[in-house]
């Protein structure tokens, strides 16, 4: 009888220990990582949180842009603040865009934008967007730039598209987040 109780006791102790450890880890993720990020995005006037996923090594944030003019500055602040919160995890911030005809405009012209960024010929980007505005009958074709990213906003009617293009990719390649 003693031999039967001992394995049962060990098994129950193991289950209780694992529950406490993993429960503590999930609670930490929720309270110390997820909630501060949700609060940061909640304070933004230019975007709303569409999706947030926190993994062991990575944090993925998907935003829906609501005010394209104010977004670049808030994006920069969000990126820096999230980096401080997650300390050591990879941060991926992307933009949610609806499938629309304006997204097709971006797809058709993304090579020219990435080429201008890759060659550090940033003054070509407003010229490209002005041409797109005429060619595709866009209501808005706006670009902004800071020290780390180029921000592109396209709109026709109620359809819009927003992209954040890193100026300096760590892998040596330019990728469009959007």
Look at residue 98 and give its three-state secondary structure: coil
Residue 178 lies in a domain: no
Q: Are residues 28 and 84 in the same domain?
A: yes
pLDDT value at position 173?
45
Q: Are 63 and 32 in contact (CB under 8 A)?
A: no
Tens place of pLDDT for every residue, the chain, 178 residues?
A: 455 568 778 888 888 777 776 766 666 666 677 899 999 999 999 999 999 998 888 889 999 999 999 999 999 999 999 988 888 889 999 999 887 889 999 999 999 999 999 999 999 999 999 999 999 999 999 999 999 999 999 999 999 999 999 998 655 444 555 5
Report how many domains make up the chain.
2
Q: How many helices (H) and strands (E) does the chain have?
A: 5, 6
Indicate the residue among 38, 61, 95 that finishes a domain. Answer: 95
Q: What is the pLDDT of residue 99?
A: 75
pTM score, whole prediction: 0.76
* Residue 175 included in any domain: no
């Amino acid at each position: 009888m003693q031999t039967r109780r001992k394995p049962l006791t060990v098994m129950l102790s193991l289950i209780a220990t694992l529950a406490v450890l993993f429960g503590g880890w999930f609670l930490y993720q929720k309270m110390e990582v997820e909630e501060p990020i949700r609060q940061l995005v909640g304070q933004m006037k230019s975007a709303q949180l569409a999706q947030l996923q926190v993994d062991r090594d990575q944090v993925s944030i998907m935003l829906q842009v609501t005010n394209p003019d104010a977004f670049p500055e808030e994006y920069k602040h969000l990126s820096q603040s999230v980096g401080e919160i997650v300390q050591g995890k990879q941060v991926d911030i992307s933009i949610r865009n609806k499938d629309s005809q304006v997204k097709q405009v971006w797809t058709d012209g993304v090579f020219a934008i990435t080429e201008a960024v890759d060659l550090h010929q940033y003054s070509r980007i407003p010229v490209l967007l002005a041409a797109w505005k005429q060619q595709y009958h866009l209501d808005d074709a706006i670009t902004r730039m800071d020290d780390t990213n180029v921000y592109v906003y396209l709109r026709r009617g109620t359809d819009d598209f927003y992209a954040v293009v890193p100026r300096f990719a760590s892998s040596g390649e330019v990728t469009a987040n959007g």
